[in-house]
Amino acid sequence: MKPRKIRENFKCERCGKEVVGDGYTDHCPRCLWGKHVDRAIPGDRKSSCKGLMEPVGVDRVRGEDKIVYRCLRCGHKFRVRLAENDDRGVWGKLGCGNSLRNKN
Ligand SMILES: [Zn+2]
Ligand SMILES: [Zn+2]
């Protein structure tokens, strides 16, 4: 199954930024907080949780930068790819103290 592409805008519940969705956007590019809307695959929007997702760390998988999230409500943990317009400075700060795993 491919991720479904749904264009949607939302307001960040953390910093209040109006986020313009590109179809896969599930987190705020400014503070990187997200919302638990997907259950199994990015874009499925099947989760009934809707809890706030806290960015708790960074990861790098096969050269792709990832944000590690933990849902404040249900504790679910998952990683999403860092988007092009995400704030890399904020992302970098998440990585302080967490060493990047390097699989190469
Ligand atoms: Zn935000
Ligand atoms: Zn959740």
CA–centroid distance, residue 72 to ligand 2 (Å): 7
pLDDT tens-digit readout, 42-100? 778 888 998 999 999 999 989 999 999 999 999 999 898 999 899 999 999 998 755 55
What was the pLDDT predicted at 3? 58
| Measured distance CA(16)–CA(77) in Å, rounded | 23
The answer to whether 22 touches 5, Cβ cutoff 8 Å, is: no
CA–centroid distance, residue 87 to ligand 2 (Å): 23
What was the pLDDT predicted at 101? 52
The answer to whether 67 touches 60, Cβ cutoff 8 Å, is: no
| Measured distance CA(42)–CA(102) in Å, rounded | 24
More confident residue, 19 or 24: 19
pLDDT exceeds 70 at position 104: no
pTM, whole model, 2 decimals?
A: 0.79
| Measured distance CA(30)–CA(40) in Å, rounded | 25
CA–centroid distance, residue 13 to ligand 2 (Å): 15
How far is residue 85 from each of residues 48, 58, 94, measured CA to CA in Å?
27, 16, 17
End-to-end CA distance of the chain: 28
Domain ranges of the chain: 10-95
